[in-house]
Amino acid sequence: MLLMCVYAQAITERAVYYVEGNTPDVGNSSYEFPIGELNFGSAYECGPVSVVFTKVSTSTSQCAAADGYNPEAALRWYKGDKMQVSVANGAISRIEWRIAASSKAAPVASVGTVDGEGTTAGEVVVWTGSASSIDFDSSAGQVRFTQMIVEYDADGTPTDPTDPVDPSDDPSVMVVYSLMEMNTEGTTYRYMGSATIVARPASDTRHIFVVDESGAHHLYGTNLPAELKAGDVISGFKATMTVYNSLPEMIDVSDIAAVGSAGVNIPEVTGAPAPNEVNRLFLLKNFTIPANADVSSLVNGQAQNVNIEIAGQTFVLRNQFKGKFEVTAGEAYDIIFVVYLFNDAIQLVPLEIAPAGSLTALQMIESTGIRYFNNVVYNQNNVRMQVISATGHIVADTTEDFDMNGLACGVYMVRAKNFVLKIVK
């Protein structure tokens, strides 16, 4: 129940969105979005301003009417979901949100500054900056608002230092805001959107898989920073698009660094993987590896193929990153894989294989914020965790990151909340 409208006001123009039932006193220059019809992932446009909501969590974000718990109609924007506000021409300079009851936090912005807590009904939270496109998320907590006002200069030029300006002033570098805009082979891009790293194989850290609202991409390089890991949010990097054996990927990556963190959402397989899902990750649950399959390549870390069937179609499960997995033919497993292309044929590259029903490493990241990478257990949310050796000795009991480089090689268990993660050092 958002609505926006635009009218001239000196140089600065305004776009007013409001939730049905909270009509602002701004004459005929505003519009409402009807209760119950907010479709996350769709763009809502009036004049030059576009607002896109993207649902990336399992929540039920919606424009909702007042009820016994919430005294006013509001857009309920749950943790993990995203919103992009943009203008085709000019620069946005200010955005206001009128906060509703039961809001827990203010939006988090990819550029510019957000002022306000977002926790009190009637509070005005303000974003200021200068950008043609801003990505917001609710990673700090649920956001609820009744009205949003966007102010922009239709003839302006973005000037925020974090806005997409290539430091080299090289006109051959194309500035983009979404991953799927990086689609022309041989072109160098500056990515100024907000992308989340969803996987970086521990067995081959030259590969990083990222997603944003537009789709997924693959970064490849020997100089990628060692500290980058699943859950990191990146922006501002420069890279050249290439195609290797029909697989699109970004090479010669530079200026890449984490600018924040986010949850990792791996969707469950619901049908046969398709070519338009290349570089995306999926979870294949309770899958029985054929009893006659040769799984030696999975066990020994070899880049070879195992044929499997999904939704009536045969696919190659190729251990491209040479990971070592504890698997037995004829047993059921949960498999996290990335969709790859090799000479236009789909391949499924496993990142993790665990006994069916067990908690995977990526699920543990979602549940606790704990991840293991390069012999370090990262404790993003500072929850209490224990690291336990194969003999049952507690080698760490901490709420901080834990460096395992000083420990002997072997099997360890990381316990946090009600979850246990098995790692092999």
Q: Which pLDDT score is estimated for 34?
A: 56
CATH assignment of 173-261, among 3.40.50.1100, 3.10.20.340, 2.40.50.140, 3.40.1650.10: 2.40.50.140
Give 383-419 pLDDT, tens digit per residue.
Answer: 888 898 888 888 999 988 899 988 888 888 888 876 7
Query: Is a pLDDT exceeding 50 seen at residue 27?
Result: no
pLDDT digits (tens, 9 = 90+) for 179-238: 998 999 999 999 988 888 888 888 888 999 999 888 899 999 988 998 888 888 888 899
pLDDT at 18: 72
CB atoms within 10 A of CB 207: 20
**163 or 120: whose pLDDT is higher?**
120
Taking the C-alpha atoms of residue 331 and residue 349, their distance in angstroms, rounded to an integer, is 19
Q: Is the pLDDT of residue 299 over 50?
A: yes
pLDDT for 123-146, tens place per residue? 888 888 888 888 888 877 788 888
Confidence at residue 1, expressed as pLDDT on a 0 to 100 scale:
27
For β-strands 188-191 and 173-176, DSSP reports them as parallel
Span 6-153: which CATH code?
Answer: 2.60.120
Torsion, Cα 162 96 263 141, to 10 degrees, reads 140
**Residue 46 confidence (pLDDT):** 62
Q: Which are the contacts of 49, defined by CB distance < 8 A and separation ≥ 6?
A: 4, 6, 15, 85, 86, 87, 150, 152
Residue 8 pLDDT level (bands cut at 50, 70, 90):
very low
Q: How confident is the model at residue 338 (pLDDT cuts 50, 70, 90)?
A: very high
Q: What is the pLDDT of residue 350?
A: 92
Instruction: Specify whether the CB–CB gap between 145 and 75 falls below 8 A.
Output: yes
- Residue 347: per-residue pLDDT: 92
Backbone angles phi, psi at 288, to 5 degrees: -90, 120
pLDDT average, residue stretch 247-273: 85
Pick the CATH number of 275-355 from 1.10.10, 2.40.160, 3.30.43, 2.40.50: 2.40.50
At 328 the pLDDT is 93
Q: Phi-psi bin for 417: left (phi > 0), alpha (psi -120 to 50), beta?
A: left
Distance CA 175, CA 162 (A): 13
d(CA 193, CA 174): 13
Tokens at 233, concatenated: 């949010």
Phi and psi, residue 389, nearest 5°: -80, 170
